[in-house]
Amino acid sequence: MWEKGTANSIIMKELEDASSQDYHFCDGQVISSMCTEPLEIARVAHNKFIEANLGNAGLYPGTLDLERQVIKGIGQLLGNENTAGGILSGGTEANITALWIARNITGKKKVIFPKSAHFSFHKACDILAMEPVMVDLNDEFTIDLDQVAAKIDDNLCAIVGIAGTTELGAVDDIPALADLLPEKAFLHIDAAFGGFVLPFLDDSPEFDFSIPQVSSITSDPHKMGMATIPSGALLVREREWIRKIHKDAPYLDMIGQLSALSGTRSSAAVAATYAAMRSLGREGYSELVKQCMEVTDYASQKARKLGLKPVMEPLMNILCLYVPKPRDIQKELNKKGWKVSVAQNPESLRLVIMPHVTKESIDGLFADLESLL
């Protein structure tokens, strides 16, 4: 493949071939992804900062400043502009890091989270040798509070609440979790998906730092934040908590540097996140969320006309529908070019209505879906 060099024109052709086999958001047929087309200005910013590495922040004071502004801006959105934190590779790394900090501070290992939690929490417990305690969901598909209460003991390190579950977009009762939290334990909120949606809803449930017991929040700009991949924000309430995962590297100029799991950190996405936030402003995100919710509502009405029942009234831009044999339907829709997914709890056809999904896409999808019922 690479004994000798190859001409750019040939490489470009090969890249075009590979890309043409991929699905692209702009085609409007991917209705299963939690990512979307990044804003144009975010792409430009990403390319400009392609060589920056916040793993050695001493070389990149400008990029570091962008990261500080991004964290402050996300903090403003999440009820506290004075948090510490940084841009990591995504929700997984942010969730792992949050539990890493919580474990090192409390010295305890038990983590309580709902069955709806993203699988990154299982990775975290595995890597950090922590004890996962999974709790059932109630009828509203949120964490069962009685079970949480019954499972709290002296070994508790953290409770995790989800603000926008991966499958259904449900939001746990975070104020109630906060009331149950023992004094020294952590309350981590996974708003990887909800972080750029819930604050822009007319009627958002409470989930952020305005609840005093909330210790840390994951919110991913590379999902509804319109930034490029990889951009996952972790915000923690107290700056000194991050010191608890710090490792010295005296040969690097570490001043001002984030203590993180990654060494070399892709920093282009930091610039892209900054660009997306500056370009849209909170008003722009508000419009975008409104548009996604309108399309979600439109899909929901179409489903009802076909006699399909939603698993829950969508709170966010995710719609899960009870259909007969969802896996078969998914397969058949895929043959027609649609990418939809199947939720497990409960088994249902799952549509994620990101900004690239238009009413026209929904019309096309439902026409094909109707022919399969």
Q: What residues line the site for ligand 0PR (CB under 6 A)?
A: 33-35, 90-92, 95, 118, 120, 162, 164, 166, 190, 192-193, 220, 232
Beta carbon nearer to ligand 0PR, 56 or 95: 95
Beta carbon nearer to ligand 0PR, 114 or 310: 114
Nearest CA to 270 among 81, 52, 102, 103?
A: 52
Shortest Å, Cβ 95 to ligand 0PR: 6
**Amino acid at site 59:** L
Shortest Å, Cβ 345 to ligand 0PR: 13
Sign of CA dihedral 274, 280, 285, 286: positive
**Residue 162: burial class (beta carbons within 10 Å; 0-12, 13-18, 19+):** buried
- What tokens were used for 274? 């900054």
Beta carbon nearer to ligand 0PR, 299 or 316: 316
Q: Which residues pair with 319 in a beta bridge?
A: 351
Rounded distance between C-alpha atoms, residue 277 and residue 224, angstroms: 11
Beta carbon nearer to ligand 0PR, 71 or 192: 192
Shortest Å, Cβ 223 to ligand 0PR: 7
Shortest Å, Cβ 117 to ligand 0PR: 8
Shortest Å, Cβ 67 to ligand 0PR: 17
Beta carbon nearer to ligand 0PR, 118 or 302: 118
Shortest Å, Cβ 119 to ligand 0PR: 7
Shortest Å, Cβ 165 to ligand 0PR: 6
Beta carbon nearer to ligand 0PR, 91 or 310: 91
- What tokens were used for 362? 């929904």
Long-range contact set of residues 202-208: C-beta below 8 Å, sequence gap at least 24? 205/163, 205/171, 205/173, 205/174, 205/315, 206/174, 206/175, 207/161, 207/163, 207/171, 207/172, 207/174, 208/78, 208/79, 208/80, 208/163
How many CA atoms, within 13 angstroms, populate the side-chain half-sphere of residue 331? Answer: 5
Beta carbon nearer to ligand 0PR, 144 or 220: 220
Query: Residue 312: which residues within 8 A CB-CB, separation 6 or more?
Result: 140, 141, 168, 170, 320
